[in-house]
Amino acid sequence: MVCSIDATHDLNLHSWVESANQADTDFPIQNLPFGVFQRQGIAETPRIGVAIGDQILDLTACCATGLLQELSAPLQAACSAPTLNPLMAMGRTALLQLRHHLSQLLRTGQAHPPASQILVPMSDAQLLLPATIGDYTDFYASIFHATHVGKLFRPDNPLLPNYKYVPIAYHGRASSIFPSGTPIQRPHGQQKRLEDIAPTFALSQMLDYELEVGCFVGIGNELGQPIAIDRAEDHLFGLCLVNDWSARDIQAWEYQPLGPFLAKSFVTTISPWVVTLEALAPFRCPAFLRASDDPPPLPYLSSSANQQQGGIDLTLEVLFSSAQMRREKIAPLCLSRSSFQQMYWTVAQMLTHHTSNGCNLRPGDLLASGTVSGAEADTQGCLLELTQRGTQPIALPTGEVRSFLVEGDEVTLRGYCRREGYRRIGLGECCGLVSHL
């Protein structure tokens, strides 16, 4: 089941929350992403909220004031939970019902209780992880990223022979996923450069970011029950931004034969708002068009619905500032802009492949896409590619140069969808400042 466009996507909808009607907001009434927050300075259980302009609609408060009483008891209970996991487990039909209800509630002209009872300014809230993430899997779904990185390590044979058949992934670490704003510490680890006789244990000199899109699992599956490609989106809740911080020197030495380990698990950050597949309905597009001499996906990864609408037209950006740039009030530098439409595998193919051996996924599990890069130099989603493994440093407006990240550097990921005739919606931001802790 692919989500359809309905009245909640109408370009002419406006909200009584004024900031949601500003042209540049990521969170107009057509978006309605879910997150989990705590009011600053108040010791309270985390609450589910919906981003609307620069405000958060507090769903626990909405329940308490009777605003959700038309919804089923289980749905109301899921809205008052301290994480999104129960809501994720309820599936598409319940979610669509909730979306229609919230869209009504926030529309101009709708009678509502005093805003102070149900809205919290985003600036007064701490945004937490949206879900308890049981498992985290990181894919490698950009053929451009895989080819660029492969070229750096294997100039003659950049793309391994399995790439066009298998959505490649590794099991990541869920415990070190933190929300946007968490300080990033350069990790220590084993490194061995080509000229070294023996490895050393030292501070990473090749700290990098990876621009990725995360997809939260909705309804899970039982062990031994694969999910067919045409049912895959029934099991996907929504998207966020992921920064898969990576220590390239540690990675280069440790990754064979089992793949990344400590080069990635020191921290991963995600944006706090989860944009649902319902909200993304107007921005669906065909899956990546494979070259005519590429093999078609194997039948279990192939369907006409996935081919025609499996892609998501989502633009992604990486913004960078050094400490000196911020001191001199220089605006952040856009290091790359890429499109999620350019991924070789769709989110449905990733989920179907993941469960094809019977592996069970659970509500709140996170699937990340892998670095989102395009073919061109200004579309590459990590420094490893942009600086050719550090050999072509980037010149900053201050006269500084960067091969990899150093203390004081701040990386902000952004994502948004635009289409003629529809309201622009965004994923918000995923930020990280490299800090001495």
Q: Which stretch binds Mn ion (CB under 5 A): 130-138, 155-163, 174-182, 196-204?
A: 130-138
Q: How many residues bind Mn ion (CB under 5 A)?
A: 3
Give the nearer residue to Mn ion in terms of CB position, either 58 or 244: 244
Nearest residue to the partner Mn ion, using Cβ: 244
Give the nearer residue to Mn ion in terms of CB position, either 264 or 423: 264
Give the nearer residue to Mn ion in terms of CB position, either 89 or 177: 177
Give the nearer residue to Mn ion in terms of CB position, either 9 or 264: 264
SS3 of 102, please? Answer: helix
**What minimum distance in Å lies between the beta carbon of 221 and Mn ion?**
24
138 touching Mn ion, by CB under 5 A: yes
Give the sign of the dihedral formed by CA 338, CA 339, CA 340, CA 344: negative
As given in the structure block, the two tokens for residue 311 are: 């892609």
Is 145 known to be catalytic? yes
244 touching Mn ion, by CB under 5 A: yes
Query: Taking a C-beta distance cutoff of 8 angstroms, is the pair 154, 403 a contact?
Result: no
**What minimum distance in Å lies between the beta carbon of 270 and Mn ion?**
12
Q: Which stretch binds Mn ion (CB under 5 A): 12-20, 105-113, 135-143, 385-393?
A: 135-143
Give the nearer residue to Mn ion in terms of CB position, either 244 or 317: 244
Query: Taking a C-beta distance cutoff of 8 angstroms, is the pair 27, 53 a contact?
Result: yes
Question: From the list 26, 58, 135, 210, which residue makes contact with Mn ion (rule: CB under 5 A)?
Answer: 210
Q: Which stretch binds Mn ion (CB under 5 A): 123-131, 238-246, 336-344, 424-432?
A: 238-246
- From CA 287, how far away is CA 274, in angstroms rounded? 22
Phi, then psi, of 431 in degrees rounded to 5: -115, 150
- From CA 43, how far away is CA 38, in angstroms rounded? 8
Give the pairing of strands 410-417 and 425-433.
antiparallel
- From CA 266, how far away is CA 246, in angstroms rounded? 8
As given in the structure block, the two tokens for residue 50 are: 């919906």
- Catalytic residue, candidates 145, 148, 353, 354: 145
**What minimum distance in Å lies between the beta carbon of 351 and Mn ion?**
17
58 touching Mn ion, by CB under 5 A: no
- From CA 62, how far away is CA 80, in angstroms rounded? 9
409 touching Mn ion, by CB under 5 A: no
Exposure string over 121-149, b if 16+ CB within 10 A, otherwise e: ebeebebbbbbebebbbbbbbbbbbbebb
As given in the structure block, the two tokens for residue 357 are: 């051996």
Give the nearer residue to Mn ion in terms of CB position, either 49 or 370: 370
Binding mask 355-374 for Mn ion (x = CB under 5 A): --------------------
Q: Is 205 exposed, middle or buried (0-12, 13-18, 19+ CB in 10 A)?
A: middle
As given in the structure block, the two tokens for residue 418 are: 């635009």
Residues that bind Mn ion (CB under 5 A): 138, 210, 244
Q: Which residues are catalytically annotated? A: 145
